[in-house]
């Protein structure tokens, strides 16, 4: 009953359409978190703890991951005879582990995702050779429509402070080309993976350059300019939306109920809905459906997700499904990927069966539709 109310409450306000639109927004693509099985064993040995399923399974998507994902997305057709489409909220850069090592870990150095794939196709060819080519094919085919999830998926202040101290966990990670299982960021207000979280408000100023740089890198990597942003881990303050606006970001994902940080642990609660505009005329999108099939919550994820899609449609809202790459990762354990992909396939099949008039849409396409006023 509580869940039923919640599913419906999320849909009371917002942009309306009689059309049955399904968007699938999936965070974390392009991010190197855990390098490999060997890296995982080495980190275990160094005493780092698995604190979440991300620490256990979240690796840069391999060729096999993409093959299985594409197979699932193209296993269904919508009313326009189009397959399902993922909007991966993706990173443009990662840590340049080799260069940092060469320099004796004196400063943070990023590298473009394409360089990361080049490096990995040499050192871990079985998993990564041909992966980037497949990525580009997915974009061309319209089943992958990546948008901006930040330059790198880490908080630079936290990273630099730990680097200066030669923090044991960080150094173990860097030695093994990973950044995961960090037990403490040193701040209650900042998660170590959250690029745009801050402790003091003026830390927001630095984010302008990271955003500018990150969006330029996005265009280089993915071949077009991003128009849609979802914050990497944790939530950004709207003060940085101007930097995004200047570089062409028109649509921003935001939670339904957002605890907006004002600095030094003070928060303000804000209610959002899809279609709401900010002072810069950027349009907000609120994900109203959750699908995390490898997160063991003792529920049937396919049924639970279908109920949420149904609630969205009942209110004439688009269903904006929220998910994470970790559900579809098989580099550490293929069983994790099998579970996630098979749930995805079943979900997609049930969606097209139940609503043959469904339309799969990329998140930015939905943004464009709302902006067009139709
Ligand atoms: Zn993320």
The answer to whether 95 and 111 have CB atoms below 8 angstroms apart is yes
CATH annotation of 2-236+243-253+275-371: 3.20.20.370
The answer to whether 243 and 207 have CB atoms below 8 angstroms apart is yes
For 30, list phi and psi in degrees, rounded to 5: 80, 0
Summary mean pLDDT of the chain: 97
How close is the Cα of 37 to the center of ligand 1, in Å? 21
How close is the Cα of 36 to the center of ligand 1, in Å? 19
How close is the Cα of 190 to the center of ligand 1, in Å? 14
How close is the Cα of 204 to the center of ligand 1, in Å? 19
- The whole model's pTM is what? 0.98
How close is the Cα of 354 to the center of ligand 1, in Å? 31
How close is the Cα of 1 to the center of ligand 1, in Å? 30
Per-residue pLDDT tens over the stretch 214-259:
999 999 999 999 999 999 988 899 999 999 999 999 999 999 999 9
What's the rounded Cα separation, in Å, for the pair 73 and 248? 29
Q: Which residues contact 328 (CB under 8 A, 6 or more apart)?
A: 26, 61, 65, 68, 69, 337, 340, 341, 344
What's the rounded Cα separation, in Å, for the pair 370 and 17? 10
What's the rounded Cα separation, in Å, for the pair 246 and 366? 21
Per-residue pLDDT tens over the stretch 250-298:
999 999 999 999 999 999 999 999 999 999 999 999 999 999 999 999 9
Per-residue pLDDT tens over the stretch 310-324:
999 999 999 999 999
Q: Which of 341, 329, 347 is nearest to 52 (CA)?
A: 329
How close is the Cα of 256 to the center of ligand 1, in Å? 17
Q: Which of 22, 13, 86, 2 is nearest to 256 (CA)?
A: 13
How close is the Cα of 373 to the center of ligand 1, in Å? 30
Q: Give the model's pLDDT for residue 142.
A: 98
Q: Which residues contact 156 (CB under 8 A, 6 or more apart)?
A: 108, 195, 206, 210
Strand spans (E) along 182-256: 228-229, 251-253
Question: What is the three-class DSSP state of 64?
Answer: helix
Question: What is the three-class DSSP state of 74?
Answer: coil
């Amino acid at each position: 009953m509580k869940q039923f109310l919640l599913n419906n409450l999320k849909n009371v306000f917002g942009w309306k359409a009689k059309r049955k639109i399904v968007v699938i927004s999936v965070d974390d693509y392009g991010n190197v978190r855990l390098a490999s099985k060997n890296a995982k064993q080495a980190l275990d040995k160094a005493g780092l703890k698995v604190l979440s399923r991300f620490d256990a399974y979240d690796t840069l998507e391999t060729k096999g991951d993409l093959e299985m994902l594409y197979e699932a997305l193209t296993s269904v057709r919508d009313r326009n005879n189009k397959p399902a489409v993922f909007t991966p909220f993706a990173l443009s850069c990662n840590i340049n582990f080799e260069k940092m090592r060469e320099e004796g870990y004196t400063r943070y150095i990023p590298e473009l995702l394409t360089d990361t794939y080049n490096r990995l196709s040499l050192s871990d060819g079985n998993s990564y050779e041909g992966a980037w080519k497949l990525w580009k094919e997915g974009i061309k085919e319209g089943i992958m429509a990546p948008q901006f999830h930040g330059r790198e998926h880490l908080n630079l202040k936290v990273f630099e402070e730990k680097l200066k101290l030669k923090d044991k966990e960080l150094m173990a990670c860097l030695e093994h080309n990973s950044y995961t299982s960090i037990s403490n960021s040193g701040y209650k207000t900042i998660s170590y993976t959250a690029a745009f979280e801050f402790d003091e408000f003026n830390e927001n100023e630095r984010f302008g350059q990271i955003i500018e740089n990150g969006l330029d890198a996005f265009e280089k990597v993915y071949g077009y300019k991003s128009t849609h942003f979802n914050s990497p881990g944790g939530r950004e303050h709207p003060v940085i939306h101007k930097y995004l606006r200047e570089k062409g970001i028109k649509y921003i994902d935001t939670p339904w109920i957002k605890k907006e940080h004002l600095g030094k642990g003070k928060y303000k609660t804000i209610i959002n809905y899809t279609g709401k505009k900010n002072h810069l005329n950027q349009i907000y999108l609120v994900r109203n459906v959750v699908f995390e099939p490898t997160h063991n919550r003792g529920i049937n994820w396919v049924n639970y997700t279908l109920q949420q899609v149904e609630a969205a449609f009942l209110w004439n809202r688009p269903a904006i499904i929220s998910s994470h790459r970790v559900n579809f990762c098989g580099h550490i354990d293929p069983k994790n990927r099998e579970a996630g992909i098979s749930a995805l396939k079943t979900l997609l099949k049930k969606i097209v069966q139940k609503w043959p008039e469904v339309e799969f849409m990329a998140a930015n396409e939905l943004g464009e539709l709302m902006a067009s006023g139709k």
